[in-house]
A and B are shown apart, each in its own frame.
Chain A
Amino acid sequence: MKLKNPWPRYYKKDVVTHYCPGCGHGIVHRLVAEVLEEMDLGKRAICVNPAGCAVLAYLYFDFDVIESAHGRGTAIATGVKRSRPDLFVFTYQGDGDLSAIGTAETIHSANRGENITVIFINNAVYGMTGGQLAPTTLIDMKTTTTPAGRDPKYDGYPVHITDVVAQFPGVAYAERVAVDGPAGIRKTRKAIANAFQTQVDGLGYSIVEVLSPCPTNWKLTPVDSFKWITEVMTTEYPIGVLTDKRSKKE
């Protein structure tokens, strides 16, 4: 029998995942690997992985990877891409990495219209350090550093950084998606493909924000985590294309 869904070429086999049960990283990792294979980009791909749970992404990605200090992903990606424009360069970053400590790098790489792609995992919480407040944490959401829930008067409001950079002329493609079920996963795959194609066509910065489950720190079951994304998280972070300047540039 021929497998309908074979193992992606650029996804390592026979490794034990370090991610928690129900985590979204594994899903998005695989989608990235599938799209790279489909678009024949794996041989010239460089991924910049973050500080955070996905710091170990190179255990799974079977293409070249460089680690970054917390928040500096798009600066490193800028250096890689500018020195070797023929390489395919993308960052894989979490919400703390990209929209707290790395806000300046995110904003300015986007504003320069760097021809790179950003895969932005938004799970509204700091995962690796044990569930602290993230810039993206929802109002009233409990974390280990907002034990009574996020109080906007005290802790500020959820940051919508993808909406911010989508306003920039240098950002050619920005979309928010959610891995909250089979339909969401298919849409995420399509969004990643669109973003990657944007870079291949040399049109500028592309970013895909993925609302992704963190059952461990949300203290929900994996199934309830999916539901929470659909029912709660997408009300704060509506899914959809935030900017698509691809046709205008042709």
Chain B
Amino acid sequence: MNKVFMSGNHTFAESAIRAGCRCYFGYPITPQNELGEYMANHMRKAGGVFIQSESETAAINMVIGAAATGTRAMTSSSSPGISLKQEGISFLAGFELPAVIVNVMRGGPGLGNIAPAQGDYFQATRGGGHGDYRTPVFAPASVQEIADLTAHAFNVADRYRTPVMLLSDGMMGQMKEPVVFSEPVTDFPEKEWALKGRGDGPSRYLCSLILDALEMERHNWKLVRKYEEIEKNEVKYEEYMIDDAEIVVIAYGTTARIAKGAIKRVRKDGVRAGMIRPISLWPFPKKLLNNLASRVRQFVVFEMSTGQMLEDVQIALEGKADITFHGRPGGTVPTPIEFARIIYREYQKTVKKEK
């Protein structure tokens, strides 16, 4: 397919349809409305189902119903709406049903505002809903990556029978960039577990209620073994100017784009800065960061929040290196100059001093 110029929100939708998503259920909320509108325009033409649900809660439960029959299904929302979906995401995890949930984050807590933010990191990576479960989370940093990761998310969801979250923000959703889509998927994995009516075989049921504590524990450990597989196989990240780096930025999504500008700027002044951009937020690239800490003494974490991914960086580095955090919550978007100043300052303070 040729290159097209498209917004992030439209790209989520187009890529999902190409990935074989045939059921989309959603409820309007800014800044992701264009996603649902695109689905309304294109899903039925693709032979699929679009329903504007009565609530976020209803939408995620419709996703559960469609996923139960083996259909690739998706819903999308923004922060307050994602909170409402947590009940259903917990059930998807318990049922072991694949689905894709897009969060185009905005400022919070509460209604907050409609400007881009990264305050839902904890909610996304720690499970979000009740119970002992994990959700793979992928964070795109360009419209092209929105296309690629959306297709990837459906594959990961099916491979591990798990809900997968795409964590984006208002900036990524609204901006337009050139994008090339891959060809529509026509070959889908066989889903023997899907409910299709018993036919001539035995009847089956999908349930998350396991009253016997020992049986429930067995189910929990079974999920853990699956999560361990995901941690082993599904870590994704980008290395940027890392080979000679003496100070390393950790940032994801929109913040990572801004940080790239900052790194280019400080490199001109002889600051050997680089960046690790986690693409999978869970599983987090812990090992990579830990290994890097044997060589790099100074890390800088940038987020559009008051410090959430920061905790994962702290866990990963195990105190082996210094971490400086700079966050801008509430829908403010930092500038490359702002980041450059901080990288420069930290470089002067620690790295250069050591020399």
Contacts and interface: CB of A to CB of B under 8 A. Distances in A.
Interface of A: 10, 42-46, 48, 55-56, 58, 61-69, 72, 75-84, 87-88, 104-105, 107-108, 112
A84 B53 CA distance: 18
A76 B64 contact: yes
A226 B69 CA distance: 39
A63 B68 contact: no
Contacts of A82: 23, 49, 51, 62, 65-66
Nearest to B209: A55
Contacts of A80: 65-66, 68-69, 195
Contact of A79 (B54, B63, B209): B63
A64 B71 contact: no
B57 interface: yes
Query: From DSSP, what is the main secondary structure of chain B's interface residues?
Result: mixed
Interface stretch (B197-205, B263-271, B281-289): B197-205
B30 interface: no
B196 A79 contact: no
Interface of B: 22-23, 25, 49, 51, 53-55, 57-59, 61-69, 71, 73, 87-88, 91, 95, 195-200, 203-209
B206 to A, nearest CB: 4
Contact of B62 (A61, A64, A79): A79
A10 B204 CA distance: 12
A64 B205 contact: yes
B51 A78 contact: yes
A43 B195 CA distance: 11
Given A72-B88, A80-B68, 15 more contacts: A43-B198, A45-B197, A61-B203, A66-B95, A67-B206, A69-B61, A78-B62, A79-B25, A79-B64, A80-B65, A80-B69, A83-B69, A104-B57, A104-B58, A107-B54
A81 to B, nearest CB: 8
Contacts of B196: 64, 84, 87
Given A46-B197, A76-B62, A83-B49, A65 B69 contact: no
Nearest to B71: A83
Nearest to B58: A75
Contacts of A44: 197, 199
